[in-house]
Structure formats: structure tokens, C-alpha cells
Amino acid sequence: MNAEIIAVGSELLLGQIANTNGQYLSQELASIGINVYRHTVVGDNKKRMTSAFQEACERADILFITGGLGPTEDDLTKEVTAELTGKRLMYHQPTLDFMKQFFKQRKRTMSENNKKQAHYTEGSDVFYNRAGLACGMADNYKDTLLILVPGPPRELKHMYENTIKPYLLKELAGEFLVLSRVLRFFDIGESRLEEELIDIIQAQTNPTIAPLASDGEVTIRLTAKAKTRSEADVLLDKVETQIQQRVGKYFYGRENETLPVQVVKNYGKKGVTLSAAESLTGGWFAKQLVDVAGASAMFEGSSTVYSQSAKNKVLGISHDLMDKYGTISKECAEAMADKVRLQYQTDIGISFTGAAGPEPLEGKDPGTVWIGISGPNGVTSYALNLAGSRELIRRLAVYYGCWFLLKEKVVNK
């Protein structure tokens, strides 16, 4: 079963807003075994919309149309759909009642043009909108299932998760069950990972294998179709075992388990405490950890020591050491990690120092990074040469810090 997505809105073509809905829907549909083959963006023009809808219906089993469901004159999606299918537009009374109540509660008068947000084509299935006003709907044109959803991302996501996804799963239920599994890898690029797995990827049928790269990590989404969950699990387990045998040393988690989540979970479970000294990252590492529920059980705190003076006054790093080796050095990184561990009385201390750019610092090129880790058995340091913008270098440094912490041999307390 294949799908296409058409985003309606001249503001998208003008670059005034980004089409994040397309990305979201592609990911979500892939997770239930529906492949998205094409994305199209069309402006608020009836003729061009009609042409785009007709062309997509020649190719796709499912056509998602996002946007153009609002109250204004240029919101034309339902009107075009009605003309395409040859059906009349009707008012969905529950949506109309909800809208009237919405305006009444806010002591505002509902203008006549708002009523069009309650339109649906006769005989179609209506999707309630509890994050906005305009209802969505599902209809059929020839052999294509048309699904209309609002353009605002918050409304679209709420509608998809609460009504459209269950609707699609019910539609597919007679054929098969779809089960997905996400594997997360770090310190390996997408091209290298694909090279390692090329024969497995080329031979894929069921499960399908979809790699996706972002900021130093690669995720692989495995999607299996089967009659039962146990059959799908067997299929997924078989392919995952093959993948782990090839690139398992880069594997760190599943589903939504990011690197900071894994650090919090791992260290918390083992009763190991952590503190950080941050120069390059300026507190970013601490934020990433404390954004994770449960961080208080393992993270004591972070000292942001950006200047030489701060490194000396807060951590007690000697000026002699910094003058001799520089702050972007193995020696400074190790001293920072050791001092912060003692300062906070934690099991592990980690430090970040480096040149984020855009200009060299202390004669070091942007992307030169040192990360130190101090534990009961001594101090280790890691040198990195990262590329990208100032923000990306700092973000990657945080992720590498998490990665090294996960590789650290820590024992249960």
C-alpha cells in the first residue's frame, strides 16, 4: 500500500512556513507499513489543486491532503474534493455545535464563514478536531482513499494520533498486523552503516529496513507485516540479529531512547552519580540530562567554567597548567573532570572543552574538542575533530560525552 502527501497553502510555496507535516506523516505512516512515495506542495488555487489531486489519485492508494480546511475564502480543499468526487458538501452537526459552544464560551460571535470548517462530503467519514475547529474527513475517489487533515501541526498531530491512525489500522486489519522497531546507532555515518548492511538492505522484503541519519547518529526503522504480533516479532528479531552482528558496537538504544535518556537510565539503575564541568558546552550537557525524568537520582550538578578565570576560581585548575598546555588540551580536560568529580563528590566526573568556532581558539581549529572522564580508577580523555556550525559542534560534543559515558565501565553500587 503506497501513499502520497499533498500540502496545500501558498505560504508553503513562499517559504513563510516549513512543511513539517510532511515529515511527521511520512514517519508515522512508515511505522504502520504504509510507504510514502511522493510529496507535493500546491498553492491555494482551485485549478492547480484539482490537477494535483487527480494526478496523485492515479498513483496512490492513499492520498493525505493537509491544509486548506479553514474559514477563509482561499481555504478550498473541501470544495475541490467535493467537485472531484461529485458529492455535495454538508455540515457535520457535532462539529458545528462544538464551534458554536467554543465561540460562546469566549463571548465572541461566530461569523458565517466559520461554518465552512464543519463541512464534509456526503457519505465520508468525519474526524473530530479537539485541538482546533475544522474537522477532517476520509472519502474515496476511484480507487484512492482521500484523507483530509488540518494544516496547523498541533491539530494535525492530535487528529492523526487520536482518530486517523486507529482508522487506518482498522482499514488494514483485515490484511495484516504491522509492527515497527527502531534501533539507534551512534559514531557511525549513514553511508558507512549502509555499506556494512548493504546486502541485508538490498534483500529486504519483510521486514523493511529504513535508515535515517541525524546529527551524528543513525536510526534504523524495521517494519514487519504479519498475521499476529508473535509472527511479526520473529521476523523483526531475525533481521535485528543480523544487523547487530554487523554494527552492534555502535548500537545504544531503541525507539525514543536518546543518548541522554540512556545515560540517565543506565547510571540511575546502577546507582552511579555524575557531575560535569562545561566550558565548550556552556551548560548544554546538564540541560540535556535534567530534561530527562529521573535525572535527579544520578546527576548532582554542573559547573559552567567558560573562562580561564572561572576554571581556576571554581574548579581550582592551576594557571600554570593552562598556560603550559592551553585550555583546549588533554591535560586541561582531565583536570576539569577530576576536579568536578571531587567538587561534587560523585562517582564520575565529565568535562567538555574545545573550540566551537567560527574562529580558531588558542591556535586550535574549530571543531577541536577534548572530553575528559574521571572515575574511581583514574581519568580518561577523548580527542574529537568535529565539523559543522558552532551550534552543531557543541551539540555533537554533548552527544559524544553521553556516548563515552555509556561506554564507561561502571559497576552497580
Which of these, 240, 223, 244, lies nearest to 232 by C-alpha position?
A: 223
Same domain, 269 and 214: no
pLDDT digits (tens, 9 = 90+) for 150-180: 999 999 999 999 999 999 988 776 667 778 8
Quote the pLDDT of residue 33: 77
Quote the pLDDT of residue 173: 66
In a domain, 413, yes or no: no
Domain count, the chain: 3
Same domain, 70 and 189: no
Q: Kindly state the cell numbers that stand for 227.
A: 498475521
Which CATH number goes with the domain that contains 69?
3.40.980.10
Quote the pLDDT of residue 260: 97
Same domain, 119 and 70: yes
In a domain, 277, yes or no: yes
Same domain, 181 and 125: no
Sequence-ordered list of residues with C-beta below 8 angstroms from that of 177, at least 6 positions apart, any chain: 225, 226, 227, 228, 229, 232
Sequence-ordered list of residues with C-beta below 8 angstroms from that of 356, at least 6 positions apart, any chain: 280, 366, 390, 393, 394
Same domain, 161 and 184: no
Considering 144, 172, 200, which residue would you say is the last residue of a domain? 172
Strand ranges for 355-411 from DSSP E:
368-375, 378-385
Which CATH number goes with the domain that contains 370?
3.90.950.20
Q: What is the mean pLDDT of the chain?
A: 94
Same domain, 163 and 234: no
412 near 258, Cβ under 8 Å? Answer: no
Same domain, 189 and 268: no
Asked if the model's pLDDT at residue 229 lies above 90, the reply is no
Percent of the chain with pLDDT over 70: 99
In a domain, 216, yes or no: yes
| 170 or 314, greater pLDDT | 314
In a domain, 412, yes or no: no
In a domain, 121, yes or no: yes
Helix ranges restricted to H, 214-351: 229-247, 259-270, 284-290, 308-310, 319-325, 330-344
Which of these, 244, 255, 247, 216, lies nearest to 404 by C-alpha position?
A: 216
Quote the pLDDT of residue 265: 96
Same domain, 106 and 156: yes
Domain of residue 351: give its range. Answer: 259-407
Same domain, 27 and 167: yes
Considering 226, 254, 282, which residue would you say is the last residue of a domain? 254
Which of these, 367, 304, 366, 368, lies nearest to 336 by C-alpha position?
A: 304
Same domain, 241 and 334: no
In a domain, 221, yes or no: yes
Considering 239, 254, 269, which residue would you say is the last residue of a domain? 254
Q: Report, as an integer, the average pLDDT of 127-134.
A: 94
Same domain, 22 and 153: yes
Same domain, 140 and 113: yes
In a domain, 12, yes or no: yes
In a domain, 197, yes or no: yes
